[in-house]
DNA sequence: GCCGTTTTCGGCCCGACTGTTTTCAGTCG
């Protein structure tokens, strides 16, 4: 699977061409192709060997040839040549806010600046202000941009942005002039990581709202402040953009600012074909400029002949084509989960007792909670020995008598390096359900790791595979594993793949979840909760499921207790 | 560099904000 590698090369070429001052459309062609390849369902090497590269939208003759060269030789002559013309550090200059390709090119050509260090020095010495298109303020802003870059983190986890965004929306609702309000941007699409928070408001008095916004207690710095757009940095480093539009444009603006960029470009192109113009103020007839729609987002899609597209689907992965045919999946809803299987109790490394978990589950309106503590060999997480776990099962059966909510007793049982399970079958058969999971020896070869997991899935007592790729967002890459083979093995053995909802896992991710769905594999969303609070992470797992086009029927824990008992209990 | 129920050549999404300019280019989303 070299999709990401090839996408990265194309992104790099796009940056280099941009600095060189190449045609913007050529630059865009490379970016579009990179984005396509990045989100491809299949393995690009397979597509190449089948001779079907040209069938990928955005891949023409020239790019197909380049992909072939990369696959065959492991390198790309064209990229090597570009890199000789523009040193590596110059590309990175563009990550400084306010520096785009044009100014970066001037810095390189006129002053020979090749990296951020040199740029900082030149700015401090006042050498930038006399360049064409630069001034004293630009110079100052560049210094501030460098400082921000050094201080700022990359993208943050969805959960953090979701919390910040929810609080801000509550705060803004306190202003009487706010008529309508919504989160927009990648946060509304519920991407796994978020770069900044976009909030959209409709109002007839924007200025007062902007003043109110910048007075929010967590605002650390104001970046820009206008009557329609204001951007701030919060104390935790996250940027927030607030846009204010008139009520008749709220739907169009929400559509526009929710993105993704690629989705919107397709929407606009489609609109043009049908004789309309779409912008953030509404849908207009192209010839007469007559306003057709814009107050509600649904109208915008309807006006250009499309079924409404849920925000989580708006990644230009084929959703527009399906919306034209009225064939979009009916996504699993945020309120359709009837229970959580992946909960750790204080029998192992969780903080809550089984009673507390049961009570909290009732509060959430669940029909069942599943206790899945670690198995014996995972000593760091107080994994339970076989004797202790038998005792636990008995005790929980007694706790059950005091509750209406069903307490299912399971385990998150380790898969040992040789693919056998950490508990003997005679123990496994005592549980209501069994999660298999990898927590050790992450650095096996791809083949060994795949075989190890497949062997575990073949165990007749294994129901679920927990966090199938083991990645920790921003901290640890997925282990080397053939996800497609895992999906096939899950199908073969009737095992459900987990979408782990813990914020830094979200594993399976959206792309793999869709792959599993397309192959007819069932999935289960588990929070991996280690405290009662964590049970609320369920929404992030549902978000991944929705981004993976999953419907209610694809997710086991949308089923009633009766159906689940029929499926699982032997 | 891609692409075609208006085109195999001539298009390619669109507007706000800033800083530089004195009517607009660059950047951003």
Q: Write down the architecture of domain A1-86 according to CATH.
A: Orthogonal Bundle (1.10)
Q: Write down the architecture of domain A156-245 according to CATH.
A: 2-Layer Sandwich (3.30)
The string of DSSP letters for A304-372 reads TT-----GGGTTTSSHHHHHHTT----BPPTT---EEEEE--TTTT-SS-HHHHHHHHHHTT-SEEEEE
Q: Write down the architecture of domain A249-324 according to CATH.
A: 2-Layer Sandwich (3.30)
Whole-number distance in Å between A113 CA and B25 C1': 22
* pLDDT, tens only, A474-492: 777 888 899 999 999 999 9
Domain residues of chain A, as ranges? 1-86, 94-151, 156-245, 249-324, 339-568
Residue with CA nearest C1' of nucleotide B16: A229
pLDDT of residue A269: 85
pLDDT of residue A380: 66
* pLDDT, tens only, A222-279: 888 888 899 998 888 888 999 999 998 999 999 999 989 889 988 988 888 888 888 8
A20 touches strand B (CB under 7 A): no
Per the prediction, chain A carries an average pLDDT of 91
A133 touches strand B (CB under 7 A): yes
The yes-or-no answer to whether A1-86 and A94-151 have a common fold is yes
Q: Given phi > 0 = left and psi -120 to 50 = alpha, else beta, which region is A370?
A: beta
Residue with CA nearest C1' of nucleotide B1: A26
Largest CA distance in chain A: 80
Mean pLDDT across A156-163: 92
**Residue A529 contacts residue A350 (beta carbons within 8 Å):** yes
**Residue A547 contacts residue A510 (beta carbons within 8 Å):** yes
d(CA A319, CA A304): 14
Nearest nt by C1' to A57 Cα? B2
The string of DSSP letters for A497-537 reads EEEE-STTT-BS-HHHHHHHHHTT--EEEE--BSSTGGGGG
| % of chain A surpassing 90 pLDDT | 57
Give the model's confidence band at A153: pLDDT under 50 very low, under 70 low, under 90 confident, else very high.
Answer: low
* pLDDT, tens only, A503-546: 999 999 999 999 999 999 999 999 999 999 999 999 999 999 99
d(CA A564, CA A456): 22
* pLDDT, tens only, A319-355: 998 999 899 999 999 999 999 999 999 998 899 999 9
* pLDDT, tens only, A52-81: 888 888 899 999 999 999 999 989 999 999
Whole-number distance in Å between A33 CA and B12 C1': 15
Nearest nt by C1' to A134 Cα? B20
Q: How many CA atoms lie within 13 A of A351 on its CB side?
A: 7
CATH homologous superfamily, domain A94-151: 5' to 3' exonuclease, C-terminal subdomain (1.10.150.20)
Find residue A412's DSSP bridge partners: A374, A435
Q: Write down the architecture of domain A339-568 according to CATH.
A: Alpha-Beta Barrel (3.20)
Dihedral pair phi/psi, residue A397, rounded to 5°: -60, -35
């Amino acid at each position: 699977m070299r999709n990401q590698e090839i996408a990265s090369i194309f992104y790099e070429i796009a940056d280099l061409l941009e600095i060189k001052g190449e045609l913007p459309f050529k630059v865009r062609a490379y970016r579009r192709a990179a984005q396509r390849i990045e989100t491809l369902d299949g393995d690009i090497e397979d597509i190449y060997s089948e001779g079907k590269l040209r069938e990928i939208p955005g891949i023409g003759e020239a790019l197909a040839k380049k992909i072939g060269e990369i696959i065959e030789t492991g390198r790309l002559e064209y990229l090597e040549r570009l890199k000789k013309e523009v040193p590596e550090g110059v590309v990175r200059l563009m990550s400084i806010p306010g520096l785009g390709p044009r100014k970066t090119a001037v810095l390189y050509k006129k002053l020979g600046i090749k990296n951020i260090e040199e740029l900082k020095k030149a700015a401090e010495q006042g050498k930038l202000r006399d360049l064409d298109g630069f001034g004293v303020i630009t110079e100052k802003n560049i210094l501030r941009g460098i400082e921000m870059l050094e201080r700022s983190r990359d993208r943050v986890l969805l959960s953090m942005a979701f919390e910040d965004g929810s609080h801000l929306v509550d705060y803004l609702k306190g202003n009487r002039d706010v008529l309508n309000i919504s989160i927009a941007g990648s946060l509304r699409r519920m991407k796994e990581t978020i770069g900044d928070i976009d909030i959209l408001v409709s109002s007839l008095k924007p200025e007062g709202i902007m003043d109110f916004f910048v007075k929010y207690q967590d605002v650390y710095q104001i970046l820009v402040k206008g009557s329609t757009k204001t951007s701030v940095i919060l104390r935790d480093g996250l940027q927030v953009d607030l846009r204010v539009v008139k009520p008749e444009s709220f739907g169009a603006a929400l559509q526009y600012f929710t993105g993704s960029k690629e989705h919107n470009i397709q929407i606009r192109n489609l609109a043009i074909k049908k004789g309309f113009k779409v912008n953030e103020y509404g849908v207009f007839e192209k010839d007469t400029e007559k306003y057709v729609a814009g107050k509600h987002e649904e109208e915008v899609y309807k006006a250009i002949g499309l079924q409404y597209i849920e925000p989580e689907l708006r990644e230009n992965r084929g959703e527009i084509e399906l919306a034209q045919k009225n064939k979009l999946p009916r996504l699993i809803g945020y309120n359709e989960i009837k229970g959580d299987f992946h909960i750790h109790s204080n029998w192992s490394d969780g903080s809550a007792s089984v009673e507390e978990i049961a009570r909290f589950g009732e509060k959430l309106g669940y029909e069942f909670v599943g206790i899945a503590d670690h198995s014996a060999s995972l000593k760091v997480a107080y994994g339970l020995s076989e004797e202790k776990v038998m005792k636990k099962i008995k005790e929980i059966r007694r706790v059950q008598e005091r509750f209406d909510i069903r307490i299912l007793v399971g385990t998150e049982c380790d898969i040992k390096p040789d693919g056998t399970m950490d508990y003997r079958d005679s123990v496994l058969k005592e549980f209501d359900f069994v999660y298999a999971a990898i927590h050790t020896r992450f650095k096996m070869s791809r083949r060994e790791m795949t075989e190890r997991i497949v062997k575990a899935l073949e165990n007749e007592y294994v129901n679920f595979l927990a966090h199938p790729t083991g990645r920790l967002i921003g901290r640890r890459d997925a282990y080397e594993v053939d996800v497609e083979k895992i999906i096939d093995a899950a199908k073969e053995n009737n095992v459900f793949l987990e979408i782990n909802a813990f914020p830094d896992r979200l594993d399976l991710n959206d792309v793999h979840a869709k792959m599993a769905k397309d192959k007819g594999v069932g999935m289960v969303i588990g929070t991996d909760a280690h405290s009662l609070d964590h049970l609320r992470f369920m929404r992030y797992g549902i978000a991944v499921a929705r981004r993976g086009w999953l419907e209610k029927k694809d997710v086991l824990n949308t089923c009633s207790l009766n159906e689940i008992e029929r499926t699982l209990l032997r």
